[in-house]
Copies of this chain bind each other. A is one copy, B any other.
Amino acid sequence: MRARRSETVRVTGRVRPADGRIRDACVRLFAQKGFQGTGIREIAAEAGVTTAALYHYVDTKEELLLDIMYGVLDPLTAAARRIVKEVDRPEARLSALVEHHVWFHATNQLPTVVTDSEIRSLGSEVRADVIARRDVYEAIWRSVVADGVADGTFRVADPRIAAIAMLQMCTGVAHWYRPTGPLTLLQLSRRYADLVLSMVRAARGGLPVRADTLGSPSPARGIDAHV
């Protein structure tokens, strides 16, 4: 016996990184059929191993889900911190946050969909940890919006609601995007940045701020280890 059965995945830090084939199989299946709708046998079959081999890498099915979620949330937060450090003004920061978020969710659709949809499938202890990490990320967005409102760059009635709303609409990209569309990923990210800047009525010197006048760097700059 390796570990007790439920609610006992260690909360501290990372889980053991599972083999790449196994993680990829989980991402595909969890995104398509849901965590609870995916059997351990399917995962094993999709990864080309047996269930017993699976349990050599991991103690519970839940750990496989956690591995995916950390692989989404941690790079997102790292990128947001980098942006706040390297970019100065609220409108440029917000634009960069949006562009990176959209780009990340479009280039990592399956793991981001899983992260967005399966939090409720986690046991209560690890769920609290995942939610805490997500909150850290969202707090960065909130503070950037609040800064812009405070210095008069943005005008919205409720910065907190605006931050939630823009996060949800940007995360939504993972649910509908298909690479076959007419737009490149960078164009799409730029469009979303424009929508968000419009939403908060971003302006400088009485003129609306548009994303393409900001010259933000490519969203992919820096390290962005995918799941």
Q: Which of A161-209 contact B (CB under 8 A)?
A: 161-162, 164-166, 168-169, 171-172, 175-176, 183, 188, 191-192, 194-195, 198-201, 208
**CB-nearest residue of chain B to A201:** B198
- Chain A positions 119-178 with a Cβ under 8 Å from a chain B Cβ: 120-121, 156-158, 161-162, 164-166, 168-169, 171-172, 175-176
Determine whether the beta carbon of A164 is less than 8 Å from that of B172: yes
* Complex contacts, A194 vs chain B, CB 8 Å: 157
Please name the residue on chain B nearest to A38 by beta carbon: B36
- Name the contact of A172 in the complex, choosing from B34, B121, B165, B183 (C-beta under 8 A): B165
Interface centre among A121, A166, A199 (most CB of B within 10 A): A199
The distance from the CB of A120 to the nearest CB of chain B, in whole angstroms, is: 6
Assess whether A13 is interfacial by the CB under 8 Å rule.
Answer: no
A37, CB-defined interface residue at 8 Å: yes
Copies of this protein chain in the complex: 2
Min Cβ gap A195→B in Å is 5
CB pair A121 B169 closer than 8 Å: no
Determine whether A117 belongs to the interface, using a CB cutoff of 8 Å to chain B.
yes
For residue A106, give the distance in angstroms from its CB to the closest CB of chain B: 12
Query: In the complex, are the beta carbons of B164 and A166 less than 8 A apart?
Result: no
Interface centre among A117, A169, A192, A200 (most CB of B within 10 A): A169
Q: Write the nearest CB–CB distance from A155 to chain B, whole angstroms.
A: 9
Q: Is the CB of B161 within 8 A of A191?
A: yes
Residue A32 at the chain B interface, CB threshold 8 Å: yes
A33 at interface, CB cutoff 8 A: yes
From A188, A192, A195, name the one whose CB has the most chain B CB atoms within 10 angstroms.
A195
A37 to B162, CA, bound (A): 32
Residue numbers in B under 8 Å from A191 (CB-CB) = 157-158, 161
Q: Can you spell out 10 A-B residue pairs with CB atoms less than 8 angstroms apart?
A: A34-B120, A37-B120, A156-B195, A156-B198, A158-B191, A165-B195, A168-B172, A169-B169, A198-B199, A198-B200
> Nearest 3 pairs between A and B by C-beta?
A168-B172, A36-B36, A169-B169
